[in-house]
């Protein structure tokens, strides 16, 4: 076997299963705030487009994706992030991917040089664990930067020494689990560092459309690059998904966009890897990227849940409304794993302990004493879960 497989850590949900093994849940309805899987309805017109094009499975799809899909994505990118030329983007800067998860993994295999002197890949802590596994299997070394509710400060605290030894930089913006968003100036500075130290920025922007209306739409990495005159997006890649934006996690549809040279190398990698997107999914995705109304409705539904839930939780725990994403990331007066066990045994609510999403560096796990609450369930369930968590803390 590949010895690097032994370096992989158990996934947080596997650890959670072990933590909760043997606990009898309270005799109440089960409410899951643990998995970040959207539960709002998928848009009917996208499902119709999928079904209407089922015959597309009679053909092998191209890895580069159909003209229609790439143009639909390019138009969305240009409109949403104020980029220049949609035709140029569609022809050379975009590739469809089967959800961002596989692409966030695959890009490391394509970009990283395991024979280079510097093998570090900077990534947030806590984080989406795929980044770490991707880097370990590419023969390089995960290096962490802590994240907080102040995204700019997190990036600005990274030293030139850290940047100098880094080949690839994973950015999660908006952040999971913090929901913090970087300003355009922090993104510009990061791109300048990438140019100076010659590393690639992979910006995971899968939560970019789930923002609070009061906070406004987050700036994207390509937007910052374009605004500073980097119109070929050198050193920059963004990863977007329909999973959260359009409540389609099972359709496995996203795209990457950015640096033409990396995109073309990644296309070659993917041709061998054999991960082209099924034709009906390509068609339905093109339809989904063209519509904004369902995205706006989705956003408002999350806004309403945040308002209702925070009214209940804020008086009893240290918790902030994040600018984006669909998580809450409260810090607790008790141990996060103990609280997670109590949430199940006393109230039948599933959470994720913050420490399971982070790594201990110099004796400190920045996720410890936090829990992650995914506000994905319907409004009444989220409110009921909040009432139950309040009861635990009051007890
Ligand atoms: C930060 C982050 N990135 C990427 C993904 C993967 O999303 P998908 O593969 O559905 O596009 C997730 C899913 O939960 C996530 O939280």
* Confidence grade of residue 253 (pLDDT, cut at 50, 70, 90): very high
Residues 356, 207: one domain? no
pLDDT band for position 230 (50/70/90)?
Answer: very high
**301 CA to centre of ligand 1 in angstroms:** 20
* Percent of the chain predicted with pLDDT > 70: 100
Is 188 inside a domain boundary? Answer: yes
Q: Which residues line ligand 1 (CB under 6 A)?
A: 36, 99-101, 128, 172, 176, 204, 206, 241, 243, 249, 254
Strands 200-204 and 166-172: parallel
Q: Quick one: which atom of ligand 1 is closest to the CA of 37? A: 14
Give φ, ψ of 213 to 5 degrees: -55, -35
Residue 26 has a pLDDT of: 95
For residue 108, CA distances in Å to 141, 191, 269 come to 11, 19, 11
| Radius of gyration of the chain, Cα coordinates, nearest whole angstrom | 21
CB 288 within 8 A of CB 43: yes
What does the pLDDT read at residue 92?
A: 92
Atom of ligand 1 nearest to the CA of 127: 1
Distance of alpha carbon 59 from alpha carbon 48, whole angstroms:
20
> Does the residue 48 lie in any domain?
no
Residues 84, 35 within the same domain: no
Q: Specify whether 162 is located in the same domain as 237.
A: yes
- Ligand 1 centre distance from Cα of residue 100 (Å): 6
Distance 316 CA to ligand 1 centre (A): 30
For residues 149 and 182, the answer to whether their CB atoms sit within 8 Å is no
Atom of ligand 1 nearest to the CA of 36: 14
Q: What is the pLDDT of residues 60-97, one digit of tens each?
A: 999 999 999 999 999 999 999 999 889 999 999 999 99
Query: What pLDDT digit, counting tens, does each position of 322-346 carry?
Result: 999 999 999 998 999 999 999 999 9
Query: Looking at the structure, do residues 238 and 328 belong to the same domain, yes or no?
Result: no
**310 and 277 housed in the same domain:** no
Ligand 1 atom with minimal separation from the 102 CA: 9
Is the pLDDT score of 16 beyond 90?
yes
Give the range of the structural domain holding residue 278, as residue numbers without chain letter: 60-291
Q: Residue 118: what pLDDT?
A: 92
Question: What pLDDT was estimated at residue 187?
Answer: 98
Ligand 1 mean position, distance from CA 254 (Å): 10
In this structure, the answer to whether residues 88 and 110 fall within a common structural domain is: yes
- In tens, the pLDDT along 159-210 reads 999 999 999 999 999 999 999 999 999 999 999 999 999 999 999 999 999 9
Between CA 240 and CA 257 the distance in angstroms is: 8
* Count of domains observed in the chain: 2
Query: In the chain, pLDDT over 90 holds for what percent of residues?
Result: 97
- The rounded distance, in Å, linking the Cα atoms of 395 and 386 is 14
Q: Which pLDDT score is estimated for 84?
A: 85
Best substitution site from 106, 173, 244 to test ligand 1's pocket, by max atoms within 8 Å of Cβ? 244
Picking from 261, 291, 321, the residue at the C-terminal end of a domain is 291
Helical axes 279-290 vs 44-52, angle rounded to 10°? 150
Q: Is residue 54 part of a domain?
A: no
Q: How far apart are CA 170 and CA 47, in angstroms?
A: 32
Looking at residue 359, what is its pLDDT? 97
Residue 114 and residue 179 in one domain = yes
Residue 232 covered by a domain: yes
Residue of 97, 100, 242 with the most ligand 1 atoms within 8 Å of its CB, for mutation = 100
Q: Which residue, of 291, 322, 344, is where some domain finishes?
A: 291
Which atom of ligand 1 lies nearest, measured to the CA of 252?
A: 10
19 and 112 co-located in one domain? no
CA of 97 to the centre of ligand 1 (A): 12
CATH number at residue 136: 3.40.640.10
pLDDT tens sequence across 277-296: 999 999 999 999 999 999 99
Ligand 1 atom closest to Cα of residue 249: 10
Say if 204 falls within a structural domain: yes
The residues near 283 (Cβ < 8 Å, ≥ 6 apart) are 49, 50, 52, 53, 56, 66, 68, 69
Q: Does 325 reside within a domain?
A: yes
Q: Calculate the CA dihedral of residues 64, 69, 70, 75 and round it to 10 degrees.
A: -170
**Crossing angle for the helix pair 293-313 and 379-394, nearest 10 degrees?**
20
CA–centroid distance, 296 to ligand 1, in Å, is 20
- 269 has pLDDT over 90: yes
In a domain, 103, yes or no: yes
Query: Same domain, yes or no, for 100 and 133?
Result: yes
Q: Which of 142, 205, 177 is nearest to 367 (CA)?
A: 177
Whole-model pTM over 0.85: yes
Residue 80, Cβ neighbours under 10 Å: how many? 18
In the reported structure, the alpha carbon of residue 229 is separated from the centroid of ligand 1 by a whole-number distance in angstroms of: 29
Which of 258, 291, 324 delimits the end of a domain?
A: 291
Q: What is the CATH number of the domain that holds 10?
A: 3.90.1150.10
Report cis status (omega within 30 of 0) of the bond before 158. Answer: no
């Amino acid at each position: 076997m590949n010895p690097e497989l032994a370096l992989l850590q158990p996934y947080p949900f596997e650890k959670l299963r072990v933590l909760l093994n043997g606990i009898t849940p309270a005799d109440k309805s089960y409410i899951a705030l643990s998995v970040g899987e959207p539960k709002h309805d998928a848009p009917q017109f996208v499902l119709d487009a999928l079904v209407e094009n089922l015959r597309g499975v009679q053909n092998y799809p191209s890895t580069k994706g159909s003209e229609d899909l790439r143009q639909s994505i390019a138009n969305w990118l240009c409109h949403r992030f104020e980029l220049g030329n949609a035709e140029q983007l569609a022809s050379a800067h975009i590739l469809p991917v089967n959800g961002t998860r596989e692409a966030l993994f695959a890009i490391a295999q394509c970009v990283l040089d395991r024979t280079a002197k510097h093998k570090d890949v900077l990534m947030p802590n806590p984080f989406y664990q795929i980044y770490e596994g991707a880097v370990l299997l590419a023969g390089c070394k995960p290096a962490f930067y802590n994240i907080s509710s102040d995204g700019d400060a997190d990036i600005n605290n990274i030293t030139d020494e850290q940047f100098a030894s880094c080949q690839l930089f994973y950015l999660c913006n908006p952040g999971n689990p913090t929901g913090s968003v970087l300003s355009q100036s922090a993104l510009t500075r990061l791109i300048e560092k990438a140019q100076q130290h010659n590393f690639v920025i992979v910006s995971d922007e899968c939560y970019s459309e789930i923002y609070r209306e009061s906070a406004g739409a987050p700036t994207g990495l390509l937007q910052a690059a374009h605004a500073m005159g980097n119109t070929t997006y050198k050193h920059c890649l963004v990863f977007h998904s329909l999973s959260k934006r359009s409540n389609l996690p099972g359709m496995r549809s996203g795209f990457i966009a950015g640096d033409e040279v990396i995109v073309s190398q990644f296309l070659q990698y993917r041709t061998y890897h054999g991960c082209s997107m099924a034709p009906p999914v390509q068609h339905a995705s093109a339809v989904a990227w063209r519509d904004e109304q369902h995205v706006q409705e989705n956003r408002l539904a999350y806004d309403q849940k945040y308002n209702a839930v925070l009214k209940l939780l804020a008086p009893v725990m240290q918790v902030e409304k994040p600018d984006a994403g669909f998580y809450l990331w409260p810090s607790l007066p008790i141990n996060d794993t103990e609280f997670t066990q109590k949430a199940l045994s006393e109230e039948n609510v599933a959470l994720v302990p913050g420490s399971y999403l982070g790594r201990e560096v110099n004796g400190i796990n920045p996720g410890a004493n936090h829990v992650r609450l995914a506000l994905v369930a319907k409004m009444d369930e989220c409110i009921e879960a909040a009432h139950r968590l309040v009861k635990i803390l009051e007890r």
